[in-house]
C-alpha cells in the first residue's frame, strides 16, 4: 500500500487555490522574487490540476491580493504579496508551535455588543470577526477570550464599516463567575468538535508516521508522491490550526489530543521535506535555474528552534 492510498479520498484533492497557497507557504515562504506562471502551472499539474484550472487559480489569487503579477515582455510571473515580520512570526506560530497560552493568570477579555435590530449584516460580520480573533461565544451577545486582547479588538473595530465605539463594551482583566462552568466554555469554543478533528487527524496519518519513525525513507513510489502527501497533511493541518482557539491547558485538560496530532504531523511533514523540495526545485529550475536555488522547506524541528531562540 502506498502512502497516498493511506489517505482518505477527500485529502487527495485540495482545491487549487488552497493548494497553491500551501505550496508557496511551504517552499517559497517570505520570498519576494516572482515565479514564472508556467512554473506554477506545472507545479499544480503534479496534483492533477489542469493547465486551465491552474491558470484560473493563479488569477483568482492575484485578484484577491495574495499574489502580485509582474510582466516581462509576453511573460508573466507571480510573487506572494509582502508580509510584515509580525505576520510572518504569527504564521509560523500558528502552524508549528504548540501554541497554547502558557502562564495564564485566569483573567479574560470580555466583549458585549449591542446593535440596532436592522443591522443584521453588521451583527453577522462582527460575530465572524470575533471568531476569527479566537473569541468564544459564551452567550448570545457575550464573547470571551483568555488573557488581554485589547489590540485585536481595536483591529475588529477598524475592519467593520459603521461599527461605533458605543456598540461594544469591553472588559479586560475580568474573571468569569463561578456560575459559568467549564462545560459552557468548551461549548463556546466548540472544543468537542475540535478534539474530534484532532483525533481523526491522528488516526488517519498515524500509520504513515509510524512507518517513517521506524526508518522507512522512501514511503512513496516517487518524490512527486511524497510532495503530494506532504502537501495533503499540511493542508489538513492548516484547517485544524485555523479552527483552534489555542486556549490555556487549564481549560483544555491534560488529555486534549492536539499534542499527539502535532507529533504525528511533525513525523510525516519533516521526514518528507527533502524529497518534496527536490520536486519543486526541479520544476522551477526548468524555467529559471537561479530562482530554483531559493526553494526551501520548513520543518517542525527547525521552527521549534526558531520559536525558542
Q: Residue ranges per domain, the chain?
A: 1-101+190-309, 108-174
| Sequence-separated (6 or more) residues with CB below 8 Å from residue 222 | none
Give the closest residue to 57 by CA, choosing from 14, 20, 10. Answer: 20
Residue 13's pLDDT is what?
34
pLDDT in tens, 57-69: 999 999 998 899 9
Q: Work out the average pLDDT over 180-194.
A: 87
pLDDT in tens, 287-308: 999 999 999 998 999 887 655 6
Residue 307's pLDDT is what?
58
Give the closest residue to 69 by CA, choosing from 81, 52, 57. Answer: 81
DSSP annotation of 100: P
Query: Do 43 and 19 meet the contact criterion of CB atoms below 8 Å apart?
Result: no
How far, rounded to the nearest angstrom, does the alpha carbon of residue 246 sit from its chain's CA centroid? Answer: 13
pTM given for the model = 0.85
For the chain, give the mean pLDDT. Answer: 87
Q: How far apart are CA 208 and CA 201, in angstroms?
A: 12
Residue 158's pLDDT is what?
78
Give the closest residue to 112 by CA, choosing from 93, 131, 134, 137. Answer: 137
CATH, domain range 108-174: 3.30.70
Q: Which of 59-68, 96-105, 116-125, 188-197 has the lowest mean pLDDT?
A: 96-105
Q: How far apart are CA 212 and CA 205, in angstroms?
A: 11
pLDDT at 109 over 90: yes
pLDDT in tens, 126-144: 999 999 889 999 988 899 9
Phi-psi region of 108 (alpha: psi -120 to 50; beta: other; left: phi over 0): beta
Amino acid at each position: 500500500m502506498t502512502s497516498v492510498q493511506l489517505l482518505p479520498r477527500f485529502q487527495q484533492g485540495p482545491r487549487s487555490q488552497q493548494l497553491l497557497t500551501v505550496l508557496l507557504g511551504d517552499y517559497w515562504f517570505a520570498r519576494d522574487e516572482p515565479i514564472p506562471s508556467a512554473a506554477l502551472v506545472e507545479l499544480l499539474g503534479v496534483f492533477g490540476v489542469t493547465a486551465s484550472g491552474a491558470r484560473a487559480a493563479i488569477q483568482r489569487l492575484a485578484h484577491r491580493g495574495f499574489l502580485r503579477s509582474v510582466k516581462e515582455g509576453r511573460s508573466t510571473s507571480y510573487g506572494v504579496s509582502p508580509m510584515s515580520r509580525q505576520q510572518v512570526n504569527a504564521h509560523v506560530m500558528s502552524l508549528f508551535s504548540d501554541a497554547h497560552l502558557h502562564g495564564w493568570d485566569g483573567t479574560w477579555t470580555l466583549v458585549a455588543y449591542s446593535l440596532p435590530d436592522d443591522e443584521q449584516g453588521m451583527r453577522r460580520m462582527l460575530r465572524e470577526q470575533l471568531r476569527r480573533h479566537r473569541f468564544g461565544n459564551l452567550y448570545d451577545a457575550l464573547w470571551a477570550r483568555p488573557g488581554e486582547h485589547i489590540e485585536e479588538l481595536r483591529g475588529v473595530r477598524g475592519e467593520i464599516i459603521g461599527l461605533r465605539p458605543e456598540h461594544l463594551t469591553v472588559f479586560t482583566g475580568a474573571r468569569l463567575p463561578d456560575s459559568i462552568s467549564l462545560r459552557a466554555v468548551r461549548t463556546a469554543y466548540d472544543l468537542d468538535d475540535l478534539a474530534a478533528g484532532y483525533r481523526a487527524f491522528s488516526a488517519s496519518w498515524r500509520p504513515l508516521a509510524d512507518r517513517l519513525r521506524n526508518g522507512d525513507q522512501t514511503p512513496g513510489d516517487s518524490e512527486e508522491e511524497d510532495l503530494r502527501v506532504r502537501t495533503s497533511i499540511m493542508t489538513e493541518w492548516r484547517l485544524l490550526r485555523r479552527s483552534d482557539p489555542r486556549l490555556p491547558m487549564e481549560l483544555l485538560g491534560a488529555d486534549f489530543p492536539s499534542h499527539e496530532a502535532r507529533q504525528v504531523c511533525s513525523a510525516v511533514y519533516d521526514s518528507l521535506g527533502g524529497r518534496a523540495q527536490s520536486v519543486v526545485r526541479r520544476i522551477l529550475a526548468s524555467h529559471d535555474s537561479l530562482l530554483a536555488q531559493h526553494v526551501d522547506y520548513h520543518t517542525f524541528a527547525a521552527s521549534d528552534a526558531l520559536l525558542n531562540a
